[in-house]
């Protein structure tokens, strides 16, 4: 059975009161490095004979990826922000078995008429929208940090650490990722880990939702509006400064002009985020999380390199990121440590 036929069969079984389900378009969306992402256009008839059409997104587990992540946790973070002032695509179905599409996956509503690629932000024609979009980006990040944890669906599937445990838990995890996946010794990343352990940050004033990959390229936008925050596969509970620091990483300064994500002045971003979250930014703690971001990112690139080298995945993206980013990330870490 073709993938398209399998998708039609799945939705015929899943959608209530649907028959004559037809896939009118099915495209794989480029860029997703943790899940295979497909855009699906469906047409079907309801019991009363009325024709319906709708677009969906399927996020399927890959054979291997840059990030080892649990689809249930990602799905639960989407659920946590559905109907909140943090815009996300509505999550619909989680399928943990491999019976339908060979591997587990989940389904979301598709948000149409918007852009996600960061390259479009750099187009001169987009310049009038950059400041407004940057403001919105950090307002939403402040809202994520402000969201009460109690009662969130994600709190049922993800551990909520004590404030003083946040930094150590993340650092232990990502050092473990480097241990598991490095293809060769990583003296710069190891020096970074030692520095982080010698200079721990103070506990956060509040344990919050941490998106885990908050940056331009990971949200849907139209002009100055953000319509959906995507890619929650690394979401967890922790220190909200982690997201702020990650968004500032020079690797995402696409225009190489010091602007976070190519659009935001970091001082403005900190001010907007602070107003919205009600939290104060400790510069030393922020620096800790910026150094940490370099170590974490290296863990991600090394995971991709390992998956490709071991033959667990043939995605060109994994080989490309290892050539394009592993050494560059080492340089960014040296800069963050004041050694370059």
Partner 1 sequence: MVPAVPLVLNGLARTMMMELLPQAAHPYAGQTLQLGAALAMMCAQEFDRAAARLAEENAALEALFAEAGAVVTDSALGAAMGEAVGRPATSLHVSALHERNRALRAVLVRLHAHVDGLDSEAARALDSRIWAELAESTRRRHLDLALG
Count of residues touching partner 1 (by CB under 8 A):
30
Q: How far is the CB of 37 from partner 1 (least distance, A)?
A: 9
Span near partner 1 by CB under 8 A; candidates 98-106, 209-217, 285-293, 332-340: 332-340
**Residues 236-255 close enough to bind partner 1 by CB under 8 A:** 250-251
CB atoms within 10 A of CB 86: 21
Nearer to partner 1 (CB atom), residue 205 or residue 319: 319
| Structure-token pair, residue 22 | 């037809």
Nearer to partner 1 (CB atom), residue 145 or residue 193: 193
Nearer to partner 1 (CB atom), residue 250 or residue 274: 250
| 60 CB-near residues (< 8 Å, 6+ apart) | 35, 36, 37, 38, 101, 103, 104, 105
Instruction: Tell me which of 184, 280, 283, 311 binds partner 1, using CB under 8 A.
Output: 184
For position 340 contacting partner 1 by CB under 8 A, the verdict is yes
Nearer to partner 1 (CB atom), residue 151 or residue 187: 187
> 60: part of which helix (H) or strand (E)?
strand 51-60
Burial class (CB in 10 A: 0-12, 13-18, 19+), 252: buried
**Residues 189-208 close enough to bind partner 1 by CB under 8 A:** 190-191, 194
| 262 CB-near residues (< 8 Å, 6+ apart) | 118, 121, 122, 130, 216, 252, 253, 254, 255
DSSP 57: E
Nearer to partner 1 (CB atom), residue 277 or residue 329: 329
Q: How far is the CB of 315 from partner 1 (least distance, A)?
A: 9
Instruction: Tell me which of 140, 188, 295, 313 binds partner 1, using CB under 8 A.
Output: 188
Q: How far is CA 216 from CA 116, 144, 146, 230, 269, in A?
A: 8, 16, 20, 10, 13
Instruction: Tell me which of 49, 185, 283, 311 binds partner 1, using CB under 8 A.
Output: 185
Q: How far is the CB of 319 from partner 1 (least distance, A)?
A: 6
Site string for partner 1, 21-60 (x = CB under 8 A): ------xxxxx-----------------------------
Q: How far is the CB of 318 from partner 1 (least distance, A)?
A: 10
Nearest CA to 247 among 113, 128, 145, 127? 145
DSSP bridge partners of 23: 42
Nearest CA to 69 among 233, 179, 195? 233
Q: How far is the CB of 314 from partner 1 (least distance, A)?
A: 11
| 65 CB-near residues (< 8 Å, 6+ apart) | 33, 34, 35, 303, 304, 307, 313, 315, 318
Task: Give the residues lining the site for partner 1 (CB under 8 A).
Answer: 27-31, 184-188, 190-191, 194, 250-251, 316-317, 319-320, 323-325, 327-328, 330-332, 334, 339-340
């Amino acid at each position: 059975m073709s993938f398209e036929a399998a998708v039609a069969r799945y939705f015929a079984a899943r959608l209530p009161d649907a028959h004559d389900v037809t896939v009118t378009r099915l495209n794989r969306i480029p860029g997703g490095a943790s899940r295979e992402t497909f855009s699906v256009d469906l047409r079907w008839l309801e019991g009363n004979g009325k024709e319906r059409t709708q677009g969906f997104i399927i996020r399927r587990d890959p054979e291997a990826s840059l990030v080892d992540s649990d689809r249930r946790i990602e799905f639960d973070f989407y659920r946590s922000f559905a109907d909140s002032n943090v815009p996300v695509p509505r999550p619909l179905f989680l399928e943990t078995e491999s019976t339908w599409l060979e591997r587990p996956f989940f389904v979301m509503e598709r948000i149409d008429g918007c852009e996600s690629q960061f390259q479009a932000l750099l187009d001169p024609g987009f310049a009038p929208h950059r400041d407004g979009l940057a403001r919105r980006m950090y307002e939403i990040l402040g809202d994520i940090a402000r969201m009460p944890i109690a009662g969130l669906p994600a709190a049922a599937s993800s551990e909520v650490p004590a404030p003083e445990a946040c930094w150590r838990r993340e650092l232990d995890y990502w050092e473990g990722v480097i241990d598991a996946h490095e293809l060769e010794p990583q003296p710069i990343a190891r020096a970074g880990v030692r520095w982080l352990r010698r200079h721990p940050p103070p506990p956060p004033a509040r344990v919050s939702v941490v998106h885990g990959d908050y940056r331009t390229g990971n949200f849907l936008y139209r002009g100055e509006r953000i319509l959906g925050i995507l890619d929650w596969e690394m979401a967890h509970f922790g220190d909200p400064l982690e997201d702020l620091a990650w968004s500032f990483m020079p690797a995402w300064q696409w225009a190489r002009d010091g602007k976070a994500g190519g659009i935001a002045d970091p001082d403005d971003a900190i001010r907007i985020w602070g107003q919205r979250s009600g939290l104060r930014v400790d510069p030393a703690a922020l620096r800790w999380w910026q150094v940490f971001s370099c170590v974490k990112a290296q863990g991600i690139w090394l995971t991709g390199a390992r998956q490709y080298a071991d033959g667990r995945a043939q995605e060109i993206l994994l080989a490309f990121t290892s050539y394009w980013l592993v050494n560059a990330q080492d340089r960014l870490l040296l800069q963050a440590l004041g050694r370059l």
